[in-house]
Structure 1
């Protein structure tokens, strides 16, 4: 199922393509064109124009995790058809494609919700790593709360800003 955007004028189509490129610069011109119902040549032209403006869009070409090479996505390329921007962002999140493969699901947002629930449940009762005299070290997710810690009892907090 492809989106038909023939009723949009040239500038509106251009904005849609730019937004999709911002969200998923690693997708091929053909994949983006199929998602938006435009020509791959048009997408490629706009991609080249944006890459010429390297100061504004150069950071978009950096991608540490190439989710497009995931075996489940290669086996089911139809998953990309008709995805909303929110679903595409969910698809790119670490672990979502693995969860989709595990459940044989075609819904990235559903699998992202399942992952969040699993993570939340796992972090409800954090692991006590060290317990010596009056020093206790906990490992857990601050978003879901560390119920074992009493209010105003923390002297030091280490966080990893790279975990989500």
Structure 2
């Protein structure tokens, strides 16, 4: 059976109470740079060439008051793999093993990376990704704001390579476009 070959721990997505306060903290205290936003509820930050190694996701107001501090604020963490072909091999292996796939295969707008997200035995979301935008002096990049209600922000391939039904938040975008 196929075994993935992750190259590195890639990025982490955290749920936060106040995204603007958190961005200020991660810029001023940690020294990260903003790569992109999705509206005002998600921001992608970087420490090096990768488009992002940290993303922050604004919790809805009702979730902030109901949030149990003992529960995880991690939406997902990821590992980089070689390319989309490896993502396809990983997806086949996940299906063969009966591992729950949360979303994918797809290609995100922000970061332009391919992805597959699945559940570990404790229900944590784990992502394998490839082909993320690289930002350096030879490859400058200007941060932009992506719209959360546009399917291409979530998946540039418009769910054509998805092996599972899309999450409810994505289904809502599709219904809006009908």
Measured against the shorter chain, the TM-score band is under 0.3
TM-score normalised per structure 1:
0.21
The one of the two structures with greater contact order (alpha-carbon pairs below 8 A, sep at least 6) is: 2
More helix by share: 1
More strand by share: 2
